[in-house]
Structure 1
Amino acid sequence: MKNRTTVERKSERELVVTRTFDPPARIVFEAWTKPELFKQWWVPKSMGMLLRSCEMDVRVGGKYRLEFEPDAMVFFGTYLEVTAHSRLVWTNEEDGEGGPVTTVTFEEKGGKTLLVLHELYPSKEVLDAAGTGAADAMVETFEQLDELLITLGARVGRS
């Protein structure tokens, strides 16, 4: 049975996205922290955009910067917590100090990884403004991550 992505609004300010991935947490974590892997799955293909530049200094206090084309949109922020293979927390600063804080946890269960992405927005209005488009994009993005992980798993299995 295929893994499903669930998206729930937990409160007026919280959005939680959950999915189980087949590889162990170490491999899933790498896909979130290595720019060459992250670039391959982060942007939903249906949006017709590319991640032109991906800079990631994945350590507490380190910065990230993602530049997209064709419309030159930029996402950037700071890593607040980095715990290898289990937890990432970062700020989303492109809208000033009023952006959400994102927490991603990687919990290994029976060789698979339960991934939970939690976004805490500064207000109900900011989350409302994000709309359902962001949630739909996450479902597609996680499907793309799943495809990449299958490819990585096949490579690991051959080496």
Structure 2
Amino acid sequence: MTTPETTTQRTSEREFVVTRTVNGPVDIVFKAWSDPELFRRWWTPKSFGMTILSCEMDVRTGGTYRLVISHPSMPEPMAFFGRYLDVVPNARIVWTNEEGGEEAGAVTTVTFEDRDEQTVVVWHDLYPSKEALDEAMISGATSGFDEQFAQLEALVSV
């Protein structure tokens, strides 16, 4: 097996796409995205120094999630939350990002494609405006995916 590559690309003014082929079967990869105990083991890139304090996930269409993350540079932990718009087991998860502010957050769609003990994961963020994606890119919110997916792969590899 070759070393997987994570590709990131701004595909339009409002869209950002990440693609990675993960060495692991689709059902286990999907479970790592939908089981709170597994999710918290790989979600934040270790080099970022963040800690997931709590992780509540009801991964079903209409369900909600809430993550509370701390970092030594933040005076208070930060909550990330939203709702699941569409969940198809082993195929797709679509969620909102409602962290606050006056403008709606991005809508994230992650698809999972089975490829014989490997899974092609495509993460697609649709931001509400060009400026929102510009800001996410400047802040570093669109970085760290290679490390994050390597952590996922270490968890699910066969």
Q: Does the pair score TM above 0.5?
A: yes
Q: Note the 1:131-142 alignment, pairs <5 A.
A: 131=137, 133-142=140-149
Q: Does 1:77 align with 2:82?
A: yes
Q: Note the 1:42-57 alignment, pairs <5 A.
A: 42-57=43-58
Aligned length in residues = 151
Aligned sequence identity (%): 56
In structure 2, list runs of 5 or more residues that go unmatched: none
* Matched position secondary structure for 1:119: strand
**Paired position in structure 2 for 1:156:** none
Please, what is the CA RMSD of the aligned residues? 1.2
Q: Note the 1:80-95 alignment, pairs <5 A.
A: 80-95=85-100
The structure whose residues are more often helix, as a share, is: 1
**Paired position in structure 2 for 1:25:** 26
- State the alpha-carbon separation in 2 of the partners of residues 146 and 79 from structure 1: 23
Contact 2:92/2:110, CA 8 A, preserved across alignment? yes
CA drift of 1:146 comes to: 1.1
1:74-93 CA-partner distances (Å, limit 9, x unpaired): 10000000001000000000
- State the alpha-carbon separation in 2 of the partners of residues 139 and 22 from structure 1: 14
Instruction: Name the stretch that deviates more: 19-28 or 137-146.
Output: 137-146
**Paired position in structure 1 for 2:122:** 116
TM-score after normalising by structure 2: 0.91
CA drift of 1:124 comes to: 0.3
Instruction: Name the stretch that deviates more: 129-138 or 51-60.
Output: 129-138
CA drift of 1:53 comes to: 0.2
TM-score after normalising by structure 1: 0.91
Q: Does 1:104 align with 2:110?
A: yes
Which consecutive segments of 4 or more residues in structure 1 shift more than 2 A?
Answer: none
- State the alpha-carbon separation in 2 of the partners of residues 141 and 35 from structure 1: 16
1:24-49 CA-partner distances (Å, limit 9, x unpaired): 11010000000000000001111111
